[in-house]
Amino acid sequence: DTGVSQDPRHKITKRGQNVTFRCDPISEHNRLYWYRQTLGQGPEFLTYFQNEAQLEKSRLLSDRFSAERPKGSFSTLEIQRTEQGDSAMYLCASSPESWFRSGANVLTFGAGSRLTVL
């Protein structure tokens, strides 16, 4: 397994355009998380899926943001009508259902997708 993959790694767009990020988690992981990280800050939780079900969404996730995980494998995060404040690193992470065997829900992160909105 190659770990958590995110695509694209970098995206530059103009304000008002739509962007979509893709995350491929570790294949045997059933939980998938999206975080946003801005400069000088820690990752901020956006949403998470257990299989294909989106179980929690942060208030940070405005109506312009939508995330899907249609078949319980890869996930997409779409931002509509981007704003300059959306510029950030979008991180995806996954974790296994059998987390209790390791004693805690350890997240495996991808390298992130950096968004710059001009």
Partner 1 sequence: AQSVTQLGSHVSVSEGALVLLRCNYSSSVPPYLFWYVQYPNQGLQLLLKYTSAATLVKGINGFEAEFKKSETSFHLTKPSAHMSDAAEYFCAVSLHTGGFKTIFGAGTRLFVKA
* 70 upstream amide cis, omega within 30 of 0: no
Contacting residue, 19, 25, 26, 31, with partner 1 by CB under 8 A: 31
Nearer to partner 1, 3 or 16 (CB): 3
Residue window 69-108: x/- pattern of binding to partner 1, with contact defined by CB under 8 A: ----------------------x-x-x---x--xxxxxxx
118 lies in the binding site for partner 1 (CB under 8 A): no
The b-or-e profile of 24-55 (16+ CB within 10 A means b, else e) is bbbeebbbbbbbbeeeeeebeebbbbeeeebe
Q: Is the Cβ–Cβ distance between 94 and 107 less than 8 Å?
A: yes
Sites of contact with partner 1 (CB under 8 A)? 4, 31, 33, 35, 40-45, 48, 55-56, 91, 93, 95, 99, 102-112
